[in-house]
Structure 1
Amino acid sequence: MAIADAAPRATAPAMPERVALLAFATDDETEATLRAGLSDTVEAMPVRRGGIRAAIRALERERTPRVLVVDLCGEGDPIGALDALAAVCEPDVTLLVTGEQSDIGFYRDLTRDLGVAEYLHKPLTRESVARVFGPRVAGMAEAPAHRGSRIVTVCGVRGGVGATTIAVNLALQVAETTHGHVGLLDLHLRGGTAAMMLGLRCSAGLRVALENPDRVDALFLERASVLASDRLRLLAADEPPEAEIAPKPEGVTRLLDLLRARCSIVVVDLPYPPGPMERQVLSLARQRVLVLGPDLAGARDLVAARKLLAGLQGNGPVLTVLNRAGAPGTLPLNMMQEGLGGLPDVVVPDLPKQLPRAANLGRPALHDSAALRKALAPLALEVGGTRPHAASRSWLGRLRERIGR
């Protein structure tokens, strides 16, 4: 019996139902007016007590509703709070906001530049809630406007450098640090190991999606993917070596569109060298991560990979990860720096015990290796966008930056 078959398989948590509407109100008057104004639109108006910070805390643990109403009253940094809320929300949420500021500039900032669907200043009236919020709530069963999300590709400059290990653990760390919804797409259709590293089994859904894009919708994605955690969704394949896979050009585009509507960040583990489908994904990526080993071949292949990416459409930055630094018989960091013309963006040390053991057990190495978590932290910050001054950016700023990517 193979080690992978003998290893215990994690049970994926069941996906909770997504509620249509949820509101947060800071006071009795706001709650009563929201209920009265929307009484003709919805039978039951779920309202929780608290402002936007209460919404952030709740949505770190729960699924995002299709329509979310939040109250900015008493919030000293509304833009920063809205930015923090964006990090924990699914990108397709329709956000309705109420607050105390009544100037037209604030309204325009929220609705034109910051991705908020509608804003109402207090005092609220039943008529204003029904007129402004009512149509948005009434149409909540319809698909909201697609805001898109950030696509991040991870590929090795040659086989066997540990790119899948980096992709899996990066996706986990971003999901944990941002509390956002992260998708992990493994495009190694034959012999991919992302699912194995997470202790999960994948279905035939990915191949179907790539070959028959007309059959793919949000429900298909829900059934074809598997939850690695409450914030990380995996879509992978396990096709036999003899499988003749014929993905259509629009297959991966359709799939990414659905993932982007579902997840704030989509990490794609790509095989190398890239074929037509992989090049298509690389041109859509907001950030492109190249993984190399600490040897002369790694330095040479990185130069070639950078040249290849420069010839593709899209201008996403290229981030380099030097994996297994310090492994016996490899080049030291100073020699790699000389060969690369500078230090790589991220250096992951050689972890000869933790990584193979974690892979064989089907348990993410990130959970047991503090060294790996520390090494990936700068990359997770870069990908997740959770930098110290992120609050100075707009609500849904990260999501709006991703439009068109």
Structure 2
Amino acid sequence: MNALSPKVLPTRRKRIALYSSDPQLRREIATRLDALAIYDVQVAETEAFLAGPPAEGRPSVAILDVGEGELLAGSRLVDARAAWANVPLVALSGELGSEQMRNLVRLNAADWLRKPFDGKELINAVTFHDSGSQASKSRVITFIGATGGAGATTLALSAADHLASRSAERAAGTCLVDLDFQHANCSAYLNVYTEFDIEGVVANPDRLDVELMDLIKLTRKPGFTLYSFERPSLPFAANGQDFVFKLLDLAAYRFEDVVIDLPNVETPWQNSVLSTSDEIFVVFELNIASLRHAKHLFQRIRGLRGNGASITLVANKRKRKLFGNHFSRGELEKIFRQPHIKAVSLDTPLLTDALNRALLPSEVHARARFNKDVKAIFRERLDAKAR
């Protein structure tokens, strides 16, 4: 059985500048934010804030401890705030008088927390006001099968594996979100399961934040992060849609590449996922039923997105024998009126072995034809378009 890893490698995508003359407060805040693995917290004395933003680049958020408000009385802070321009400022202080509060408002502080404050309050303030200046827009890559068993889940896992294999940093910035709550096949494939009971989170999606995302994740060294939950009733839950959207929003906030395994069933979030994905892979088999569903799905996505959508059609389980396939590549291009349809070879022994051993196909035999086919597709469709 694959062991769960409680550690998420840091992506260091978002820089937070923390200024305080209180060593204990600096230590507590830095420890709390560093534990989330998405922040690079830079700590300095309060005086450093007055010198303006660091030369190496502006942070996403600046946190300033103004103590008991004595710093608010001078003009230096006003001049310094102008130098920080539009960087969101989260101010920390003790009890302030009305005049001090007015001065804080004049400084255009994005938020204020009175000491002592709860750590959750601080995290919520930082994530809410994060300007994203240090984070590139996340890329959403969705796999959807034309029919059940077409192989979309296997290809989604292989895509996440491919992206994560580039480096430790890429692995830390890659996650796979399994939206098949009926079976949670992604976690079943790898034989990893979360022990966290998400029942209460689904009932109250507002509980889901970057801190909780680290608790409900699944990781498997040396690869990507996985979010996969078996909860068949979730699509019918009163707050199921809100939970899914919050999960996807936080995944996009936390990771650079978000791979989605989207089952081809009607759910309140299916159209939204298809409408907002940067890359869509439609996976089908070479039989009439799967081809018909794939064509309808392809036309539906075109209707949602127009001709500008980046859609890759993948004919999975292609037999390499001369008379093994009923449809040629040319015939497929005529059916979809789309050139350059991709094909992945059928390799039953490889995939069966991988499934039985809870391994990814690349871990069983990296040079197998299946792995060569998917690698060639991902190099062209994902690596060539990497930001």
Q: TM-score, normalised by structure 2?
A: 0.64
**Pairwise mapping of residues 135-174 of structure 1 onto structure 2 (< 5 A)?**
142-143=126-127, 144-146=130-132, 148-174=137-163
Identify which of 248, 272, 282 aligns with 1:290.
282
Structure 1 residue 250: Cα displacement? 2.6
What amino acid is the match of 1:159? G
Over alpha carbons, which structure has the higher Rg? 2
Supply the distance in 1 between the matched residues of 2:207 and 2:364 (Cα, whole angstroms): 40
Matched residue SS, 1:353: helix
The 1:330/1:214 distance shift into structure 2, 3 A limit, reads same
Evaluate the alpha carbon distance shift between residue 360 and residue 195 of structure 1 in structure 2; reply closer, same or farther with a 3 A threshold.
Answer: same
Bigger mean CA deviation after superposition, 310-319 or 188-197: 310-319
| Partner of residue 326, structure 2 | 331
The CA deviation string for residues 185-205 of structure 1, in whole angstroms up to 9 with x for no partner, is 111111231112223113465
SS state of the match for residue 154, structure 1?
Answer: strand
Q: How many angstroms does 1:306 deviate by?
A: 1.3
Q: Counterparts in 2 of 1:97-108, with a 5 A limit?
A: 98=56
Residue-pair matches, total: 305
Out of 353, 364, 367, the residue aligned to residue 368 of structure 1 is 364
Q: Does 1:235 align with 2:227?
A: yes
Q: 1:137 to 1:277 in 2, by over 3 A?
A: closer
Report if the CA contact (8 A) 2:196-2:215 is conserved: no
Deviation at 1:157, TM superposition (A): 0.8
Matches within 5 A, 1:62-141: 65-67=39-41, 98=56
Matched, 1:182 2:174: yes
1:162–1:291 CA contact under 8 A, matched in 2:
yes
Distance 1:347-1:177 versus aligned 2 partners, 3 A rule = farther
Specify the SS of the correspondent of 1:311.
Answer: helix
Moved more, 299-308 or 9-18: 9-18
Stretches of structure 1 lacking an aligned partner (at least 5 in a row): 1-8, 24-36, 46-62, 70-94, 99-109, 119-129, 391-397, 399-405
Q: Distance in 2 between matches of 1:276 and 1:65?
A: 32
Q: Helix, strand or coil: the match of 2:258?
A: strand
Q: Deviations over 1:170-213 (max 9, x none)?
A: 11111112642111111111123111222311346566544431
The yes-or-no answer on 1:358 pairing with 2:354 is: yes
Offset, 1:378: 3.9
The 8 Å contact of residues 21 and 68 in structure 1, kept in 2 or not, is answered as no
Alignment gaps of 5+ in structure 2? 27-36, 44-52, 63-79, 91-121
Distance 1:248 1:191, change over 3 A: closer
User: Which of 261, 269, 294 in structure 2 is aligned with 1:302?
Assistant: 294
Letter matched to residue 227 of structure 1: T
**How many Å separate the matches in 2 of 1:303 and 1:255?**
30
- Residue 259 of structure 2 is aligned with which of 267, 273, 289? 267
Closer/same/farther in 2, CA of residues 368 and 44 from structure 1, 3 Å limit: farther
Letter in 2 for 1:200: V
CA distance, structure 2, for counterparts of residue 290 and residue 300 of structure 1? 12
Letter in structure 2 aligned against 1:305: L
> What's the counterpart of residue 321 of structure 1?
314
Instruction: Answer with 181-190 or 203-212: which moved more.
Output: 203-212
**Is 2:244 aligned against 1:249?**
no
**More relative contact order in 1 or in 2 (CA 8 Å, sep 6+)?**
1
Please give the TM-score of this superposition, normalised by the length of structure 1: 0.62
C-alpha distance after superposition, 1:237-257 (max 9, x if no partner): 123689964444332221111
In structure 2, what is the equivalent of residue 80 of structure 1? Answer: none
Give deviations 1:204-248, integer Å, cap 9, x for gaps.
Answer: 656654443122111221111111235511111123689964444
* Residue identity in the other structure for 1:322: A
Change (3 A) 1:357 1:207: farther
Deviates more, 1:181-190 or 1:307-316: 307-316
Shift of 1:97: 5.7
SS class of match (2:373): helix
CA distance in 2, matches of 1:289, 1:350: 18
Cα distance in 2, alignment partners of residues 381 and 302 from structure 1? 23
Q: Which amino acid aligns with 2:343?
A: V
Give the 3 Å change call, closer, same or farther, for CA 200–41 of structure 1 in structure 2.
same
Counterpart position of 2:379:
381
Inter-CA distance 311–193: structure 2 relative to 1 (3 Å threshold): same
Q: Displacement, 1:336?
A: 3.3
Fraction of identical pairs, as percent = 21
Deviation at 1:154, TM superposition (A): 0.6
Contact 1:158 1:272 in 2 (8 A): yes
